[in-house]
Structure 1
Amino acid sequence: MALPPKFSGQLLASTSGSEAKHTIELYLDYVCPFSAKIFKTFYGSVAPVIEEKYTDPGIRVIFRQQIQPWHPSSTLTHEAGVAVLRTAPQSFWPFSKKLFDNQKDYFDVNVVNESRNETYKRLAKLAGSVDGVDEKTILDLLLVTDTPGEDGSLNIGNKVTDDVKFQVKANRVTGVHVTPTVLFNGVEERSISSSWTFEQWDEWLKKNAT
Protein backbone atom coordinates (compact mmCIF):
# COMPACT_ATOMS: atom_id res chain seq x y z
CA MET A 1 0.00 0.00 0.00
CA ALA A 2 3.06 2.24 0.12
CA LEU A 3 3.27 4.96 -2.50
CA PRO A 4 6.63 6.61 -3.24
CA PRO A 5 6.40 10.43 -3.16
CA LYS A 6 7.42 10.63 -6.82
CA PHE A 7 4.23 8.76 -7.72
CA SER A 8 1.95 10.75 -5.42
CA GLY A 9 -0.30 11.66 -8.33
CA GLN A 10 -1.59 8.08 -8.37
CA LEU A 11 -3.36 8.83 -5.10
CA LEU A 12 -6.81 10.25 -5.74
CA ALA A 13 -6.39 13.43 -3.73
CA SER A 14 -10.08 14.15 -3.20
CA THR A 15 -10.55 10.86 -1.33
CA SER A 16 -7.23 10.62 0.49
CA GLY A 17 -7.96 11.98 3.94
CA SER A 18 -4.78 12.14 6.00
CA GLU A 19 -6.35 9.89 8.66
CA ALA A 20 -7.78 7.37 6.20
CA LYS A 21 -7.93 3.86 7.63
CA HIS A 22 -8.82 2.00 4.43
CA THR A 23 -7.07 1.77 1.06
CA ILE A 24 -8.51 0.76 -2.30
CA GLU A 25 -5.94 0.00 -5.00
CA LEU A 26 -7.04 -0.25 -8.62
CA TYR A 27 -4.65 -2.17 -10.87
CA LEU A 28 -5.53 -1.02 -14.36
CA ASP A 29 -4.16 -1.21 -17.89
CA TYR A 30 -4.84 1.68 -20.25
CA VAL A 31 -5.57 -0.57 -23.23
CA CYS A 32 -7.70 -3.09 -21.34
CA PRO A 33 -11.43 -2.61 -22.11
CA PHE A 34 -12.41 -3.99 -18.71
CA SER A 35 -10.07 -1.56 -16.97
CA ALA A 36 -11.74 1.27 -18.82
CA LYS A 37 -15.15 0.03 -17.72
CA ILE A 38 -14.33 -0.13 -14.02
CA PHE A 39 -12.42 3.17 -14.13
CA LYS A 40 -15.31 5.06 -15.67
CA THR A 41 -17.78 3.79 -13.08
CA PHE A 42 -15.43 4.32 -10.17
CA TYR A 43 -14.04 7.72 -11.14
CA GLY A 44 -17.33 9.09 -12.41
CA SER A 45 -19.73 7.80 -9.75
CA VAL A 46 -18.05 6.02 -6.85
CA ALA A 47 -15.21 8.42 -6.03
CA PRO A 48 -17.55 11.39 -5.43
CA VAL A 49 -19.58 9.29 -2.98
CA ILE A 50 -16.42 8.21 -1.15
CA GLU A 51 -15.43 11.85 -0.84
CA GLU A 52 -18.85 12.80 0.50
CA LYS A 53 -19.80 9.87 2.75
CA TYR A 54 -16.63 8.04 3.76
CA THR A 55 -14.51 10.69 5.41
CA ASP A 56 -14.51 8.78 8.70
CA PRO A 57 -12.56 6.52 8.91
CA GLY A 58 -11.60 7.59 5.40
CA ILE A 59 -10.53 5.77 2.22
CA ARG A 60 -7.35 6.22 0.21
CA VAL A 61 -7.67 5.35 -3.48
CA ILE A 62 -4.56 4.50 -5.51
CA PHE A 63 -4.30 3.91 -9.25
CA ARG A 64 -1.68 1.22 -9.90
CA GLN A 65 -0.43 1.14 -13.49
CA GLN A 66 -0.43 -2.50 -14.62
CA ILE A 67 1.31 -3.02 -17.96
CA GLN A 68 -0.04 -6.01 -19.90
CA PRO A 69 2.75 -7.10 -22.28
CA TRP A 70 0.48 -8.98 -24.70
CA HIS A 71 -0.74 -5.52 -25.70
CA PRO A 72 2.45 -3.97 -27.13
CA SER A 73 1.09 -0.45 -26.85
CA SER A 74 0.35 -0.96 -23.15
CA THR A 75 3.92 -0.03 -22.28
CA LEU A 76 3.77 3.10 -24.43
CA THR A 77 0.51 4.33 -22.92
CA HIS A 78 1.73 3.72 -19.38
CA GLU A 79 4.96 5.54 -20.15
CA ALA A 80 2.78 8.52 -21.02
CA GLY A 81 1.03 8.11 -17.67
CA VAL A 82 4.39 8.10 -15.90
CA ALA A 83 5.45 11.21 -17.80
CA VAL A 84 2.33 12.99 -16.58
CA LEU A 85 3.01 11.75 -13.04
CA ARG A 86 6.46 13.29 -13.18
CA THR A 87 5.54 16.66 -14.65
CA ALA A 88 1.92 17.30 -13.65
CA PRO A 89 0.93 14.84 -10.88
CA GLN A 90 -2.29 16.72 -10.16
CA SER A 91 -3.41 15.91 -13.71
CA PHE A 92 -2.72 12.17 -13.59
CA TRP A 93 -6.31 11.07 -12.92
CA PRO A 94 -7.84 13.47 -15.48
CA PHE A 95 -5.25 12.29 -18.01
CA SER A 96 -6.11 8.68 -17.20
CA LYS A 97 -9.77 9.44 -17.87
CA LYS A 98 -8.87 11.04 -21.18
CA LEU A 99 -6.75 8.06 -22.15
CA PHE A 100 -9.40 5.52 -21.21
CA ASP A 101 -11.96 7.52 -23.18
CA ASN A 102 -9.69 7.24 -26.21
CA GLN A 103 -8.12 3.85 -25.52
CA LYS A 104 -9.23 2.30 -28.84
CA ASP A 105 -6.86 4.68 -30.60
CA TYR A 106 -4.04 2.63 -29.07
CA PHE A 107 -5.36 -0.87 -29.72
CA ASP A 108 -3.24 -3.16 -31.89
CA VAL A 109 -4.97 -2.39 -35.20
CA ASN A 110 -4.54 1.35 -34.68
CA VAL A 111 -0.83 1.32 -33.83
CA VAL A 112 0.57 -1.54 -35.91
CA ASN A 113 1.55 0.62 -38.89
CA GLU A 114 3.15 3.50 -37.02
CA SER A 115 6.54 3.77 -35.37
CA ARG A 116 7.00 3.87 -31.61
CA ASN A 117 7.83 7.57 -31.69
CA GLU A 118 4.75 8.29 -33.78
CA THR A 119 2.61 6.68 -31.10
CA TYR A 120 4.41 8.78 -28.49
CA LYS A 121 3.56 11.92 -30.45
CA ARG A 122 -0.13 11.04 -30.39
CA LEU A 123 0.02 10.29 -26.68
CA ALA A 124 1.80 13.57 -25.96
CA LYS A 125 -0.83 15.46 -27.93
CA LEU A 126 -3.58 13.71 -25.98
CA ALA A 127 -1.84 14.54 -22.69
CA GLY A 128 -1.48 18.15 -23.76
CA SER A 129 -5.26 18.41 -24.08
CA VAL A 130 -5.54 17.95 -20.29
CA ASP A 131 -5.35 21.02 -18.07
CA GLY A 132 -1.93 21.44 -16.49
CA VAL A 133 -0.07 19.17 -18.91
CA ASP A 134 2.43 20.47 -21.46
CA GLU A 135 2.57 18.45 -24.69
CA LYS A 136 6.19 19.30 -25.53
CA THR A 137 7.40 18.36 -22.05
CA ILE A 138 5.65 15.00 -22.24
CA LEU A 139 7.00 14.30 -25.71
CA ASP A 140 10.56 15.09 -24.60
CA LEU A 141 10.27 12.47 -21.88
CA LEU A 142 8.85 9.84 -24.23
CA LEU A 143 10.82 10.06 -27.47
CA VAL A 144 13.54 7.47 -28.07
CA THR A 145 16.60 8.58 -30.00
CA ASP A 146 18.21 6.48 -32.72
CA THR A 147 21.67 7.39 -31.45
CA PRO A 148 23.50 4.78 -29.33
CA GLY A 149 24.34 5.68 -25.76
CA GLU A 150 27.80 6.92 -24.78
CA ASP A 151 28.77 3.37 -23.86
CA GLY A 152 27.49 2.04 -27.17
CA SER A 153 24.28 0.71 -25.65
CA LEU A 154 21.41 0.22 -28.08
CA ASN A 155 18.69 -0.44 -25.48
CA ILE A 156 18.69 3.09 -24.14
CA GLY A 157 14.97 3.51 -23.43
CA ASN A 158 13.57 6.96 -22.80
CA LYS A 159 13.51 9.39 -19.88
CA VAL A 160 10.77 7.54 -17.99
CA THR A 161 12.16 4.00 -18.40
CA ASP A 162 13.55 3.83 -14.86
CA ASP A 163 10.21 4.91 -13.36
CA VAL A 164 8.39 2.25 -15.39
CA LYS A 165 10.87 -0.39 -14.21
CA PHE A 166 10.18 0.55 -10.60
CA GLN A 167 6.43 0.32 -11.04
CA VAL A 168 6.65 -3.07 -12.76
CA LYS A 169 8.87 -4.43 -9.98
CA ALA A 170 6.52 -3.11 -7.29
CA ASN A 171 3.48 -4.66 -8.97
CA ARG A 172 5.21 -8.03 -9.33
CA VAL A 173 5.68 -8.18 -5.57
CA THR A 174 1.89 -8.22 -5.13
CA GLY A 175 1.45 -11.01 -7.65
CA VAL A 176 -1.26 -9.12 -9.53
CA HIS A 177 -1.76 -10.50 -13.03
CA VAL A 178 -5.14 -9.74 -14.61
CA THR A 179 -6.70 -6.34 -15.10
CA PRO A 180 -8.62 -4.94 -13.52
CA THR A 181 -7.65 -6.18 -10.07
CA VAL A 182 -8.79 -4.43 -6.89
CA LEU A 183 -6.97 -4.66 -3.57
CA PHE A 184 -8.66 -3.60 -0.35
CA ASN A 185 -6.31 -2.95 2.54
CA GLY A 186 -3.60 -4.93 0.76
CA VAL A 187 -5.69 -8.02 -0.02
CA GLU A 188 -7.22 -8.86 -3.40
CA GLU A 189 -10.98 -8.27 -3.34
CA ARG A 190 -12.14 -10.87 -5.83
CA SER A 191 -15.82 -10.08 -5.46
CA ILE A 192 -15.41 -6.77 -7.32
CA SER A 193 -16.03 -6.97 -11.04
CA SER A 194 -15.47 -4.56 -13.89
CA SER A 195 -19.19 -4.83 -14.63
CA TRP A 196 -20.21 -3.57 -11.20
CA THR A 197 -22.74 -0.78 -11.20
CA PHE A 198 -22.63 2.19 -8.88
CA GLU A 199 -25.27 0.51 -6.73
CA GLN A 200 -23.09 -2.57 -6.25
CA TRP A 201 -20.10 -0.43 -5.30
CA ASP A 202 -22.26 1.52 -2.88
CA GLU A 203 -23.50 -1.63 -1.19
CA TRP A 204 -19.97 -3.02 -0.91
CA LEU A 205 -18.68 0.22 0.62
CA LYS A 206 -21.47 0.18 3.22
CA LYS A 207 -20.44 -3.31 4.30
CA ASN A 208 -16.67 -2.93 4.20
CA ALA A 209 -15.56 0.67 4.54
CA THR A 210 -17.42 2.01 7.57
Structure 2
Amino acid sequence: MALPPKFAGQKLVSSAIQPAAVHTLELYLDYVCPFSAKMFKTVYTTPLRDIILNKYGTKLVTIFRQQIQPWHPSSTLTHEAGVAVLKLAPNKFLDFSTALFNDQASFFDANVVHESRNQTYKRLAKIAGSVGVDENQVYDMLEISDKPAEDGSLNTGNKVTNDLKVLVKMHRLVGVHVTPTVVFDGVIAGDISSSWTVDQWEEWLAKNVA
Protein backbone atom coordinates (compact mmCIF):
# COMPACT_ATOMS: atom_id res chain seq x y z
CA MET A 1 0.00 0.00 0.00
CA ALA A 2 1.30 3.45 -0.89
CA LEU A 3 2.57 5.72 1.87
CA PRO A 4 1.49 9.38 1.66
CA PRO A 5 4.53 11.72 1.86
CA LYS A 6 3.16 13.43 4.99
CA PHE A 7 3.55 10.11 6.83
CA ALA A 8 7.11 9.55 5.62
CA GLY A 9 8.40 9.45 9.21
CA GLN A 10 6.96 5.94 9.45
CA LYS A 11 9.59 4.61 7.04
CA LEU A 12 12.76 2.89 8.19
CA VAL A 13 15.02 3.40 5.20
CA SER A 14 18.69 4.17 4.70
CA SER A 15 19.32 7.88 4.16
CA ALA A 16 21.99 6.95 1.61
CA ILE A 17 19.47 5.66 -0.93
CA GLN A 18 16.26 6.72 -2.55
CA PRO A 19 13.19 5.81 -0.47
CA ALA A 20 11.99 3.33 -3.11
CA ALA A 21 12.52 -0.39 -2.61
CA VAL A 22 11.71 -3.71 -4.22
CA HIS A 23 10.16 -5.20 -1.08
CA THR A 24 7.91 -3.59 1.53
CA LEU A 25 7.58 -4.86 5.10
CA GLU A 26 4.63 -3.32 6.95
CA LEU A 27 4.26 -3.72 10.71
CA TYR A 28 0.76 -2.98 11.99
CA LEU A 29 1.31 -2.09 15.62
CA ASP A 30 -0.75 -0.60 18.43
CA TYR A 31 0.86 1.53 21.12
CA VAL A 32 -1.11 -0.13 23.94
CA CYS A 33 -0.66 -3.72 22.74
CA PRO A 34 2.05 -5.62 24.69
CA PHE A 35 2.74 -7.91 21.73
CA SER A 36 3.20 -4.90 19.45
CA ALA A 37 5.70 -3.49 21.92
CA LYS A 38 7.62 -6.75 21.84
CA MET A 39 7.84 -6.77 18.05
CA PHE A 40 8.67 -3.06 17.83
CA LYS A 41 11.54 -3.39 20.30
CA THR A 42 13.03 -6.35 18.41
CA VAL A 43 12.83 -4.64 15.01
CA TYR A 44 13.72 -1.09 15.99
CA THR A 45 15.90 -1.24 19.14
CA THR A 46 18.17 -4.27 18.65
CA PRO A 47 20.93 -5.03 16.12
CA LEU A 48 18.14 -6.07 13.74
CA ARG A 49 17.57 -2.39 12.96
CA ASP A 50 21.09 -2.03 11.56
CA ILE A 51 20.76 -5.31 9.67
CA ILE A 52 17.59 -4.05 7.99
CA LEU A 53 19.17 -0.72 7.13
CA ASN A 54 22.66 -1.80 6.13
CA LYS A 55 22.23 -5.31 4.72
CA TYR A 56 18.80 -4.90 3.13
CA GLY A 57 18.55 -1.13 2.81
CA THR A 58 18.64 -1.14 -0.99
CA LYS A 59 16.01 -3.89 -1.24
CA LEU A 60 13.57 -3.30 1.61
CA VAL A 61 11.45 -0.52 3.07
CA THR A 62 10.01 -1.12 6.53
CA ILE A 63 6.90 0.82 7.56
CA PHE A 64 5.39 1.14 11.00
CA ARG A 65 1.62 1.28 10.44
CA GLN A 66 -0.26 2.79 13.38
CA GLN A 67 -3.12 0.37 14.05
CA ILE A 68 -5.76 1.70 16.47
CA GLN A 69 -7.47 -0.94 18.62
CA PRO A 70 -10.69 0.88 19.63
CA TRP A 71 -11.66 -1.46 22.46
CA HIS A 72 -8.88 0.31 24.36
CA PRO A 73 -10.01 3.99 24.20
CA SER A 74 -6.51 5.23 24.98
CA SER A 75 -5.26 3.55 21.81
CA THR A 76 -6.82 6.35 19.76
CA LEU A 77 -5.24 9.01 21.97
CA THR A 78 -1.76 7.50 21.77
CA HIS A 79 -1.93 7.22 18.00
CA GLU A 80 -3.16 10.81 17.75
CA ALA A 81 0.04 11.78 19.56
CA GLY A 82 2.02 9.73 17.05
CA VAL A 83 0.36 11.63 14.20
CA ALA A 84 1.15 14.95 15.90
CA VAL A 85 4.82 13.98 16.05
CA LEU A 86 4.71 12.89 12.40
CA LYS A 87 3.43 16.33 11.44
CA LEU A 88 5.80 18.34 13.64
CA ALA A 89 9.01 16.32 13.53
CA PRO A 90 8.79 13.20 11.33
CA ASN A 91 12.44 12.36 12.00
CA LYS A 92 11.51 11.94 15.69
CA PHE A 93 8.59 9.56 15.09
CA LEU A 94 10.54 6.37 15.80
CA ASP A 95 12.21 7.91 18.86
CA PHE A 96 8.79 8.94 20.15
CA SER A 97 7.40 5.49 19.42
CA THR A 98 10.28 3.86 21.30
CA ALA A 99 9.67 6.06 24.34
CA LEU A 100 5.91 5.47 24.22
CA PHE A 101 6.24 1.71 23.92
CA ASN A 102 8.62 1.76 26.89
CA ASP A 103 5.94 3.57 28.91
CA GLN A 104 2.91 1.90 27.35
CA ALA A 105 1.57 0.40 30.61
CA SER A 106 0.81 3.90 31.90
CA PHE A 107 -1.74 4.19 29.07
CA PHE A 108 -3.47 0.86 29.71
CA ASP A 109 -7.18 1.01 30.62
CA ALA A 110 -6.73 0.95 34.40
CA ASN A 111 -4.20 3.78 34.28
CA VAL A 112 -6.24 6.23 32.22
CA VAL A 113 -9.77 5.61 33.45
CA HIS A 114 -9.66 8.36 36.08
CA GLU A 115 -8.06 11.08 33.97
CA SER A 116 -9.61 13.36 31.37
CA ARG A 117 -8.79 13.10 27.69
CA ASN A 118 -6.73 16.29 27.79
CA GLN A 119 -4.82 15.03 30.83
CA THR A 120 -3.83 11.96 28.83
CA TYR A 121 -2.77 14.20 25.96
CA LYS A 122 -0.56 16.20 28.34
CA ARG A 123 1.27 13.04 29.39
CA LEU A 124 1.71 12.03 25.76
CA ALA A 125 3.03 15.49 24.89
CA LYS A 126 5.54 15.16 27.71
CA ILE A 127 6.83 11.91 26.19
CA ALA A 128 7.23 13.71 22.86
CA GLY A 129 9.12 16.45 24.68
CA SER A 130 11.48 13.86 26.15
CA VAL A 131 12.73 12.97 22.65
CA GLY A 132 13.17 16.54 21.45
CA VAL A 133 9.77 17.44 20.03
CA ASP A 134 8.18 20.67 21.26
CA GLU A 135 5.86 19.54 24.04
CA ASN A 136 3.63 22.59 23.84
CA GLN A 137 3.18 22.25 20.09
CA VAL A 138 2.25 18.60 20.45
CA TYR A 139 -0.32 19.36 23.12
CA ASP A 140 -1.72 22.22 21.04
CA MET A 141 -2.39 19.76 18.22
CA LEU A 142 -4.06 17.26 20.54
CA GLU A 143 -6.10 19.39 22.94
CA ILE A 144 -9.89 19.13 22.71
CA SER A 145 -11.81 22.34 23.40
CA ASP A 146 -14.69 22.28 25.89
CA LYS A 147 -16.38 25.10 23.96
CA PRO A 148 -18.63 24.79 20.89
CA ALA A 149 -17.19 25.72 17.51
CA GLU A 150 -18.39 28.85 15.73
CA ASP A 151 -21.02 26.80 13.91
CA GLY A 152 -22.23 25.32 17.19
CA SER A 153 -20.63 21.93 16.61
CA LEU A 154 -19.65 19.97 19.72
CA ASN A 155 -17.75 17.27 17.81
CA THR A 156 -14.87 19.26 16.38
CA GLY A 157 -12.01 16.87 17.10
CA ASN A 158 -8.48 18.27 17.20
CA LYS A 159 -5.71 19.27 14.78
CA VAL A 160 -4.79 15.69 13.89
CA THR A 161 -8.30 14.27 13.44
CA ASN A 162 -8.32 14.54 9.65
CA ASP A 163 -4.93 12.85 9.33
CA LEU A 164 -6.00 10.09 11.70
CA LYS A 165 -9.04 9.47 9.51
CA VAL A 166 -6.70 8.94 6.54
CA LEU A 167 -4.72 6.31 8.45
CA VAL A 168 -7.89 4.50 9.49
CA LYS A 169 -9.18 4.50 5.89
CA MET A 170 -5.87 3.13 4.63
CA HIS A 171 -5.86 0.27 7.12
CA ARG A 172 -9.49 -0.64 6.46
CA LEU A 173 -8.52 -1.25 2.84
CA VAL A 174 -6.36 -4.20 3.88
CA GLY A 175 -8.67 -5.46 6.64
CA VAL A 176 -6.05 -5.75 9.37
CA HIS A 177 -7.60 -6.69 12.73
CA VAL A 178 -5.18 -8.11 15.29
CA THR A 179 -1.91 -6.56 16.39
CA PRO A 180 0.77 -7.08 15.58
CA THR A 181 0.11 -8.00 11.95
CA VAL A 182 2.95 -8.13 9.44
CA VAL A 183 2.31 -7.56 5.73
CA PHE A 184 5.10 -8.39 3.28
CA ASP A 185 4.76 -7.13 -0.28
CA GLY A 186 1.03 -6.69 0.22
CA VAL A 187 0.32 -10.13 1.71
CA ILE A 188 -0.12 -10.96 5.41
CA ALA A 189 2.90 -12.89 6.67
CA GLY A 190 1.14 -15.04 9.24
CA ASP A 191 4.25 -17.01 10.10
CA ILE A 192 5.94 -14.01 11.74
CA SER A 193 5.46 -13.87 15.50
CA SER A 194 5.93 -11.11 18.04
CA SER A 195 8.15 -13.52 19.99
CA TRP A 196 10.65 -13.90 17.15
CA THR A 197 14.28 -13.34 18.05
CA VAL A 198 16.77 -11.37 15.99
CA ASP A 199 18.12 -14.67 14.63
CA GLN A 200 14.66 -15.76 13.48
CA TRP A 201 14.11 -12.43 11.76
CA GLU A 202 17.52 -12.70 10.08
CA GLU A 203 16.70 -16.16 8.77
CA TRP A 204 13.36 -14.98 7.40
CA LEU A 205 14.86 -11.89 5.77
CA ALA A 206 17.60 -13.92 4.11
CA LYS A 207 14.99 -16.25 2.64
CA ASN A 208 12.46 -13.63 1.54
CA VAL A 209 14.38 -10.49 0.58
CA ALA A 210 16.12 -11.33 -2.66
Q: Classify the TM-score, shorter chain.
A: over 0.9
Unaligned 5+ segments in structure 2 are none
**C-alpha distance 159-16 of structure 1, shift in aligned 2 (>3 A):** farther
Match of 1:80 in 2: 81
Match of 1:64 in 2: 65
Deviation, 1:16, is: 8.6
**C-alpha distance 171-15 of structure 1, shift in aligned 2 (>3 A):** farther
Whole-Å Cα distance in 1 between the matches of residues 194 and 11 of structure 2?
20
Whole-Å Cα distance in 1 between the matches of residues 12 and 93 of structure 2?
9
**C-alpha distance 52-104 of structure 1, shift in aligned 2 (>3 A):** same
SS in structure 1 at match of 2:54: helix
Question: TM-score normalized by structure 1?
Answer: 0.96
Q: Which amino acid aligns with 1:185?
A: D
Deviation, 1:17, is: 3.9
**2:8–2:90 contact (8 Å) kept in structure 1:** yes
Match of 1:206 in 2: 206
Q: Deviations over 1:20-66 (max 9, x none)?
A: 2111000000000000000000112322111121244x110111000
**1:67–1:78 contact (8 Å) kept in structure 2:** yes
The answer to whether residue 145 in structure 2 is matched with residue 122 in structure 1 is no
User: After TM superposition, which residue ranges in structure 1, 4 or more long, deviate above 2 angstroms?
Assistant: 13-19
Deviation, 1:15, is: 7.4
Aligned length: 208
Match of 1:197 in 2: 197
C-alpha RMSD of the superposition: 1.2
SS in structure 2 at match of 1:27: strand
Match of 2:144 in 1: 144
Match of 1:110 in 2: 111
Aligned ranges 1:6-25 → 2 under 5 Å: 6-14=6-14, 17-18=17-18, 19-25=20-26
The answer to whether residue 178 in structure 2 is matched with residue 178 in structure 1 is yes
Q: Which amino acid aligns with 2:189?
A: E
Question: TM-score normalized by structure 2?
Answer: 0.96
